[in-house]
Structure 1
Amino acid sequence: MHTEIDTQYGSLRVVNEPMYSFESQDNVRSYPLEVRLANDSLTSIHGVELNGQGIMVVGAGGGCSAVHERSALVIGDRLYLAVGDHVACLSLELPYGQIWSTRVDTATCFGVYWDKKREALISHGELEIARLSLHGGLIWHASGADIFSEGFRLLPDYIEAVDFNQAIYRFDYATGEAVLR
């Protein structure tokens, strides 16, 4: 699986690298920069390519996450990547590298979203929905009764998440508090 994004720097591609081994010369693909977001075992590893060239590989712990259309987004010169239990902010300008990373869920981050109107960076986690600042600060996080596996949307007035039992949660963009409707 992979996802592709057109950027001001060219075509960006994020790929699953489940067999990648950090600090090894025996990987199928090589990346000049390796970014570890956890000191323990890595359960999710995503490679980042720009214009067909591998530029970095990012690994994190937590639950295993796969690459899909909501795994990454680009805002200006920054790539925001959901990998494992983290959202990482990576520079797309030379020198490529990690700007920050934040653990956003106690299990797995399913995706990262951007609401331009509110300048809201939102993480859809398995157990928690979180809002981050563009500098990596956790503004708020909220959880529900079960895992948020049945739907997630940014709507005009609130963020909607649906849990495993089909319970619908609506969170305020500014505070993360429940919105009653």
Structure 2
Amino acid sequence: MKVDYKNFEIEVIDDKNYNLNSTYNLRQYQKTYFEENEFRPSSKHAIIIKEHGIEIASVLICETNGATEIFDNSFIIENDKIWIIVSNKIYCLEIPSLEIIWRKEFDQFTNFHIHKLEEDFVIHGELEIFRITKEGEIIWRFGGLDIWINPEGKNEFTIENHFIRLFDFESNEYVLDFNGKELEFNPRTIETETKKKWWQIFS
């Protein structure tokens, strides 16, 4: 995914095939952020910055918890910074150097999306929803009865006017204000009435 920002072209990609221990990778990066341990990274995201078509900075960021991919809401760019989701972490990097300003863990498992909310950000995590400052400080966090993944196709996280609407795994609905206060809780209703057989309709 490519974004034009000031005089820069910023490309953010998911480089799953990159091998940290190989010299035969198709693409090389100027920096690599990865805490060495016995686990293989589950997420490998790269940022490449070009100016007038010439690469001036690049970085590969690796993390070992929940696997993430690059979507429209995987990163935010403004004020000469990029905030990017990598697994259950958020990285804030300086533009154009791509030096780390801060790196913090939020959801225990995976962060799915990051959204702008007024002067802050909201993170849609697997277990919790977080509102954070641009400096990575948690303003509030909210957890439901189940994880924030919905197998029925409902949009688990939407910002609507002055509200945040959520659906959990069981399709329970939650409505929060921007201060994280729960305004509505609408539990899923399950039909319990058994339909009559066709021959019982007229009996």
Same fold (TM over 0.5): yes
Whole-Å separation in 2 of the counterparts to 1:9 and 1:45: 26
Aligned partner of 1:167 in structure 2 is 172
Whole-Å separation in 2 of the counterparts to 1:37 and 1:131: 26
1:103 aligns with 2:101: no
Whole-Å separation in 2 of the counterparts to 1:137 and 1:38: 26
Shift of 1:39: 5.0
Whole-Å separation in 2 of the counterparts to 1:86 and 1:22: 19
Aligned partner of 1:17 in structure 2 is 15
Unaligned runs of 5+ in 2: 186-203
- Provide Cα deviations, 1:38-80, integer angstroms capped at 9, x if missing partner: 8563211101112363611111222111111111110220101
Shift of 1:155: 2.1
Change (3 A) 1:79 1:21: same
Shift of 1:6: 2.2
Aligned partner of 2:183 in structure 1 is 179
Change (3 A) 1:8 1:26: same
Unaligned runs of 5+ in 1: none
Shift of 1:18: 1.5
- Provide Cα deviations, 1:1-28, integer angstroms capped at 9, x if missing partner: xx33221242212111122233642322
- For normalisation by structure 1, the TM-score amounts to 0.86
Aligned partner of 1:125 in structure 2 is 125
CA RMSD of aligned residues (A): 2.1
Greater relative contact order: 1 or 2 (C-alpha under 8 angstroms, separation 6 or more)?
Answer: 1
Shift of 1:33: 0.9
Aligned partner of 1:68 in structure 2 is 71
Contact 1:35 1:98 in 2 (8 A): no
Secondary structure, aligned partner of 2:148: coil
Change (3 A) 1:105 1:40: farther
Secondary structure, aligned partner of 1:124: strand
Q: Residue type matched to 1:71 in 2?
A: S
Contact 1:71 1:111 in 2 (8 A): yes
- For normalisation by structure 2, the TM-score amounts to 0.77
Contact 2:49 2:96 in 1 (8 A): no
Q: Residue type matched to 1:157 in 2?
A: H
